[in-house]
């Protein structure tokens, strides 16, 4: 039996059906292609919007806390691997736009995306958004950025880009970091390379003997090491889900708030894990 063609309009919903904030810019959502020019949205865009808005709830809580701690200080936020700057624009629209001070910096290596973000910020009159066509390491030396940054974000920063964002946050004395890692391949590659040696050395290597487990253990271990490193540097760390697994497999959210009180034994546990998994030569310099 011949099936009727699917009408794409059937999968669209109106903005009124969305959980939007009062005053949220519909024009911004259209510019980001989350909404069509007619003000409708398809299900794929709805999932993306839900994910970004859910992440914003965590960021908003941190921004409010930091504002209460120092009301006279204009907050600064650096978004690494900004891409099309979905996150930066949403955060500016829902929080920074209402303030008289504070700035968001989008850091992205692809020049076309940086130019597009600059043009969009100008069209929307988002005057306190700055976009840098540079890498994380180069942004540390940029005169366009302040010496200190309050909040560092990295949404789906691939592989070691999350580690670069953490290093940036430490150098800039970040008061908070919001990280959603993605595609951690480095540790898995090292586990794979040393698999035969580790299997003869410890039964724990059975955890990553099979290729699928190697990838999963590598991803899990990478984030555990990151959390321990942040705790050793005086941050309190919370790990939670960003959204449900039905929306994204890259789902782990790491929230770090600086307290200035390093967690006891965090550095020792980190080094012990590097040794146990045979990663000391590869990663020791990353976690000084």
Look at residue 18 in the predicted model and tell me its pLDDT. 63
Q: How far apart are the C-alpha atoms of 146 and 140, rounded to whole Å?
A: 9
> What would the pLDDT profile of 80-122 be if each residue is shown by its tens digit?
999 999 999 999 999 999 999 999 999 999 999 999 999 999 9
The residues spanned by each domain of the chain are: 55-286
Domain 55-286 fold? Rossmann fold (3.40.50)
Of residues 161 and 127, more confidently modeled: 127
Q: Give me the residue label for tokens 């829902």.
A: 94
> What would the pLDDT profile of 18-36 be if each residue is shown by its tens digit?
667 888 898 998 898 888 8
Tell me the two tokens of residue 32. 């980001």
| Strand arrangement, sheet containing 103-108 | 129-133, 103-108, 76-80, 151-158, 176-182, 252-258, 235-241
């Amino acid at each position: 039996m011949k099936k009727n063609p699917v009408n794409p309009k059937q999968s669209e919903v109106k903005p009124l059906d969305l959980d939007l904030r009062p005053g949220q810019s519909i024009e911004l959502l259209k510019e980001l292609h989350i909404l069509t020019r007619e003000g409708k949205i398809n299900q794929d865009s709805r999932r993306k919007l839900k994910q970004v808005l859910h992440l914003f709830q965590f960021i908003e809580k941190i921004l409010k806390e930091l504002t209460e701690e120092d009301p006279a200080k204009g907050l600064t936020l650096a978004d690494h691997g900004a891409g099309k700057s979905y996150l930066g624009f949403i955060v500016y629209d829902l929080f920074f736009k209402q303030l008289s001070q504070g700035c968001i910096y989008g850091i992205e290596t692809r020049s076309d995306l940086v130019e597009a973000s600059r043009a969009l910020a100008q069209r929307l009159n988002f005057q306190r958004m700055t976009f840098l066509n540079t890498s994380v390491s180069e942004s540390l030396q940029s005169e366009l950025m302040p010496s200190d940054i309050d909040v560092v974000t990295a949404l789906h920063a691939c592989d070691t880009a999350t580690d670069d964002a953490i290093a940036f946050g430490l150098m800039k004395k970040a008061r908070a970091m919001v990280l959603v890692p993605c595609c951690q391949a480095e540790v898995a590659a090292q586990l794979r390379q040393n698999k035969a040696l580790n299997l003869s050395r410890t039964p724990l290597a059975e955890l990553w003997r099979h290729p699928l487990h190697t990838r999963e253990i590598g991803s899990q271990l990478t984030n555990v090491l990151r959390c321990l490193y942040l705790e050793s540097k005086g941050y309190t760390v919370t790990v939670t889900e960003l959204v449900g697994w039905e929306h994204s497999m890259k789902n782990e959210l790491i929230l770090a708030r600086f307290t200035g009180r390093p967690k006891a034994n965090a550095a020792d546990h980190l080094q012990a894990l590097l040794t146990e998994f045979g990663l000391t030569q590869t990663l020791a310099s990353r976690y000084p």
